[in-house]
Structure 1
């Protein structure tokens, strides 16, 4: 880097440059790579691609993202294979994954969304009001996502707690689950799925959570940016960005809905950024890399 800089300086002098040669570099001792890991869940895809676009295009980081299941997400963080996971659900839903590692293995950087919730979701027209009502059905299904997800563990517990002997819990990718929900909704059929908020589902359909009087799914949680312990020291500007990054319910649901409209999530992200420039500017204010001028 120093050789290149000296070469540029000599070139400027040799051509008799009267002005300054101006170029931008991140500090050499900070590094430039940010490795993010995420799951295929709608909010995880949206947050991760939003962060990637802003870190690359506004803060000039070299960002790579890796799709993994939630178990591998935390393993990559713990082993230092990734710097950030921006979709940690705490204190309950992801507790079992975190407890597999020594205390202090992860850094809770900042709350991206307060008041997140998981549970069983039905169309607003459903005859069912609470999870216990499913016990009255001669046979029923709860359509869920991948087995290792925290919401699925709670869904299994709800079947036992509410005595849903005739209810089956199906496992599939979130995308397939939502296709089934959309089809049932268009026909006004009964359907029960595992779900969470924020989610674009709430922006598109009239849906609600089933009441959970036994609190199987727990209280509202925070979606937290999780990092490696060394992240604050290695990438201080990126760390500060994730500390500031926080979304309201309306902002988060609209972000996911924009992302869903396009095959490439980054197209939806950029459309959302255009409509939320004030919010984004608060996250990146003062965090751009320093410019060095050579006379």
Structure 2
């Protein structure tokens, strides 16, 4: 081989080495950039359950957090799937845990793998069976067997697996009720309640307060002498392990969060009356900015 060909070959080798070195450097820089992006990740995933107050508060927090620069995704799940997703880390937060009774089964099962907040955002919740107020002879759970024919032997329920549905099943056993709990969904249950009241027909269903339905219809909670549903319930939130360390600021905001009956009732009304729930939540935030500022100070 001639000297000039050897020289050319040597130059080509140097060029190839330089190209690969440059590629390696670019790859390392890219990977480094990706790593930094992951560390500074502002994405938060919140579980949403198709209950009126849950849709309201999840959209409220989506609006609040996105205004602060976070990217918030709402994932629609049932309660059981929500707990499993928090346990696996596929979900960052769930904003509605009713204690000490309604969601006690989830606290017992997941207390070691999910963070349940000590703080509460609503302190005067109530759960029980309800009937229309025009059913004057039915005021206690103990009255139901005597009038079971009125209800076709059914208690109209909502999402299977919800804590309140589990407690209602226990209630049927505690009172030896000759009625069957029929699961459906919250919208379907509310629709059935509305149709029954429109025709002044009897209906019995498990419900909870706060809920917008009480501003639409005259309903009464049945007395529960054995206290199966418990007394006053408090609403907590839950997060995946590590959330407090990854999002200390948001964790503090969640712990500062407090609402009363009037505030949550108005929020639910705004969210339900808006074409987009997020727009309804934003309207409520605008009118209650001082309260929100107390949470995110």
Give the TM-score, by structure 1 length: 0.82
- Structure number with greater Rg is 2
Q: Which residue number in structure 2 is paired with residue 122 of structure 1?
A: 131
Q: State the match for 2:22 in structure 1.
A: none
| Correspondences of 1:31-110 after superposition (within 5 Å) | 31-57=41-67, 59-101=68-110, 103=112, 105-108=114-117, 110=119
User: Which structure's residues are more often helix, by fraction?
Assistant: 2
* Pairwise CA distance, 1:102: 5.5
Mapping of 1:265-276 within 5 angstroms?
265-276=277-288
Going from structure 1 to structure 2, the CA distance change for 1:248 and 1:35 (only over 3 Å counts) comes to: same
Partner of 1:15: none
Answer yes or no: is the 8 Å Cα contact 1:77–1:84 preserved in 2. yes
* Contact 2:125/2:232, CA 8 A, preserved across alignment: yes
Hey, what does 1:18 align to over in structure 2?
Answer: none
When residues 154 and 102 of structure 1 are mapped into structure 2, their CA distance, relative to the original with a 3 A threshold, is closer
Conserved? CA contact 2:140–2:223, under 8 Å? yes
What SS does structure 1 have at the residue aligned with 2:205? strand
Superposition deviation, residue 30 in structure 1: 5.1
In the alignment, what sits opposite 1:149? Answer: 162
Query: For this pair of structures, how many residues does the alignment match?
Result: 257
2:107 and 2:248 mapped to 1: Cα distance?
A: 24
Distance 1:226 1:122 in 2: 32
Find the residue that maps to 2:97 and give its secondary structure: strand
1:1-295 correspondence runs (5 A): 31-57=41-67, 59-101=68-110, 103=112, 105-108=114-117, 110-127=119-136, 128-139=138-149, 140=151, 141-165=154-178, 167-285=179-297
Tell me if structure 2 keeps the 8 A contact 1:112–1:246. Answer: yes
Rounded to whole Å, the distance in 2 between the matches of 1:30 and 1:220 is 41
Give the direction of change, closer, same or farther, for the CA distance of 1:101–1:138 in structure 2 (3 Å limit).
closer
- For 1:213 and 1:138, the matched residues in 2 are separated by 19
Give the CA deviation at 1:265. Answer: 0.9
Alpha-carbon distance change, 231 to 138 in structure 1, aligned in 2, over 3 angstroms: closer
**Higher mean Cα deviation, 111-120 or 90-99?**
90-99
Q: Is the 8 A contact 1:109 1:226 kept in 2?
A: no
How far residue 132 of structure 1 moved from its aligned partner, in angstroms, is: 0.9
The answer on whether the counterparts of 1:31 and 1:234 sit within 8 Å (CA) in structure 2 is no
Instruction: Measure how far apart 1:81 and its partner are.
Output: 0.8
Shift of 1:248: 0.3
SS in 2 for 1:100: helix
Higher relative contact order (CA 8 A, sep 6+): 1
Contact persistence 1:117–1:220 (CA under 8 A):
yes
**Cα deviations by residue, 1:160-202 (Å, 9 ceiling, x for unpaired):** 222222x221110100110111111122222111101111112
Give the Cα separation in 2 of the matches to 1:92 and 1:107: 14
Q: Which runs of 5+ in 1 are unaligned?
A: 1-26, 286-295
**Is the contact made by 1:42 and 1:256 (CA closer than 8 Å) also made in structure 2?**
yes
CA drift at 1:121: 1.3
